Amino acid sequence: MTVRNPSEHVDSWYSRSAAPAPAHPRLEGRLTADVVVLGAGLTGLSAALELAQAGLDVVVVEAHRVGWGASGRNGGQVIFGFGCDQPKIADWVGMDASRELFHWSVEGVAMVRERLARHAINADWRDGHAHVAIKPRHVGELKAWQRDLGDNYAYPVQWWDRDQLQAQMPNARYIGALYDPRSGHLHPLNYTLGLARAAVAAGVRIFEQSPVLSLERGPRPRLRTAGGEVEGDFCVLAGNALVHGIAPELDDKIMPVGTYIGATEPLGEARARDLIRNDMAVADINWALDYFRLTRDHRLLFGGQASYSTLPPPNLPGTMMRRMARVFPQLQGVKFDSVWGGLIDISLNRAPHWGRLGDNVYFAQGFSGHGVAATGLAGRILAEAIRGQAGRLDAFARIPHRNFPGGRGLRTPMLVAAMAWFKLRDALW
């Protein structure tokens, strides 16, 4: 077994604190399998694990390393629901189907806990997540959300007024919160590496540093790399924001957006606990949101800056530090030990885009920055469909999706213009 060199992942607090994990070989020569999977993030690994547990022979082909993409870099916030508001899903597919989709998203959260336990993955799980209000408009939105979740989805979440929130997070910026004890947070790279370990133990073959150059469709879809190829009865495309040119009809449905996180230097237990006493994860509900949580070694992990051009803002650490100091003035002068970014795959309506191309190519994308739990569910649902139970995938495939207007060249400037409006709205109301 070769021990992973952490520098193979983007330099982040996660890669610096990752558990040792084996490196996997490059794909060479011609292989066959029952199912071939592009991408060793949470979606691809979840599908591979479920399929292997059902007795299928699975090969996963990864361009870089297991967890190299969003799965190994994200905020680690494990939350119910999807990237878009649930009432929108109800408008598109009807309330009964919306209810089913929502409950499956809750299954996605439960799956994370189950997999951590079943496969003995140490990923620093912590209970609790709060969506927080900065202004009165947010209080109204959060209370309406709580009513919708309780009345229509039988999913009770707690409303905390300013005093209740201050008791857990003494912070003058926030005036209320929607708290969910079932959601939580974890170390996403260790979770992804743990899932890979479980998949390999179930018989999955993983190939790293093997970018797929093309997908040949037909009765036995085939993934080709520079050094080899693998064909199967079925193919799963799980390349997220990073995949391009493999299935052009999928490319136009998502837009890669850069988003950034900083991990402070260790704050010491007492100072860290003063920021978030109950160790929950926190996200505000602005369009250009801030989200944060503590790490097991008492750092603040602060995320928030987005880049619709995917180019990191100039002086990223300085920009992130200013953002963090706006939320936690008491951290003025505290340094980031590492700052990193990743790409999220937003769909035009922010809803999950999961489905099938032809008879035997399956895909899941469009997690829209809300994928730590939903990816596990996506993998399970793709695996079910491949095994002949397509009911749940068909339910997701009923969500309507449109191409980003303007084609690849124009969509970035158009999105930048749209986002400027939403940011203005955040600032004014």
Ligand X SMILES: Cc1cc2nc3c(=O)[nH]c(=O)nc-3n(C[C@H](O)[C@H](O)[C@H](O)COP(=O)(O)OP(=O)(O)OC[C@H]3O[C@@H](n4cnc5c(N)ncnc54)[C@H](O)[C@@H]3O)c2cc1C
Q: Considering the complex, state which of residue 137 and residue 304 has its C-beta at the smaller distance from ligand X.
A: 304
Q: Considering the complex, state which of residue 103 and residue 137 has its C-beta at the smaller distance from ligand X.
A: 103
The helix-helix angle for 374-386 and 42-53 (nearest 10°) equals 40
Q: Considering the complex, state which of residue 268 and residue 392 has its C-beta at the smaller distance from ligand X.
A: 392
In the complex, the smallest distance separating the C-beta of residue 258 from ligand X, rounded to whole angstroms, is 8
In the complex, the smallest distance separating the C-beta of residue 53 from ligand X, rounded to whole angstroms, is 18
8 Å CB contact between 303 and 334? no
Q: Which residues bind ligand X (CB under 6 A)?
A: 38-44, 61-64, 68-71, 73-77, 79, 211-212, 238-240, 242-243, 246, 259, 261, 303, 342-344, 367, 369-372, 375
| 254 exposure class (CB count in 10 Å sphere: 0-12, 13-18, 19+) | buried
8 Å CB contact between 334 and 267? yes
Question: At residue 307, what are phi and psi to the nearest 5 degrees?
Answer: -130, 110
In the complex, the smallest distance separating the C-beta of residue 367 from ligand X, rounded to whole angstroms, is 3
Q: Considering the complex, state which of residue 148 and residue 251 has its C-beta at the smaller distance from ligand X.
A: 251
Amino acid at residue number 171 = N
List, in order, residues 6 or more apart from 380 with CB less than 8 Å away: 46, 47, 50, 111
In the complex, the smallest distance separating the C-beta of residue 243 from ligand X, rounded to whole angstroms, is 4
In the complex, the smallest distance separating the C-beta of residue 94 from ligand X, rounded to whole angstroms, is 25
List, in order, residues 6 or more apart from 38 with CB less than 8 Å away: 44, 61, 212, 215, 223, 235, 236, 237, 238, 239, 243, 246
Q: Considering the complex, state which of residue 214 and residue 332 has its C-beta at the smaller distance from ligand X.
A: 214
In the complex, the smallest distance separating the C-beta of residue 66 from ligand X, rounded to whole angstroms, is 7
8 Å CB contact between 346 and 366? yes
Amino acid at residue number 140 = G
Q: Considering the complex, state which of residue 27 and residue 90 has its C-beta at the smaller distance from ligand X.
A: 27
Q: Considering the complex, state which of residue 79 and residue 139 has its C-beta at the smaller distance from ligand X.
A: 79
In the complex, the smallest distance separating the C-beta of residue 231 from ligand X, rounded to whole angstroms, is 15
**Residue with the shortest CB distance to ligand X:** 371
Strand partners, 237: 38, 363
| 325 exposure class (CB count in 10 Å sphere: 0-12, 13-18, 19+) | middle
The helix-helix angle for 136-153 and 86-93 (nearest 10°) equals 50
Compute the distance between CA of residue 350 and CA of residue 391 in angstroms, rounded to an integer.
22
8 Å CB contact between 324 and 262? yes
Compute the distance between CA of residue 354 and CA of residue 378 in angstroms, rounded to an integer.
8
Compute the distance between CA of residue 9 and CA of residue 41 in angstroms, rounded to an integer.
13
8 Å CB contact between 323 and 50? no
In the complex, the smallest distance separating the C-beta of residue 17 from ligand X, rounded to whole angstroms, is 16
Q: Considering the complex, state which of residue 67 and residue 176 has its C-beta at the smaller distance from ligand X.
A: 67
Pairing of strands 29-32, 228-231: parallel
Q: Considering the complex, state which of residue 349 and residue 375 has its C-beta at the smaller distance from ligand X.
A: 375
In the complex, the smallest distance separating the C-beta of residue 136 from ligand X, rounded to whole angstroms, is 26
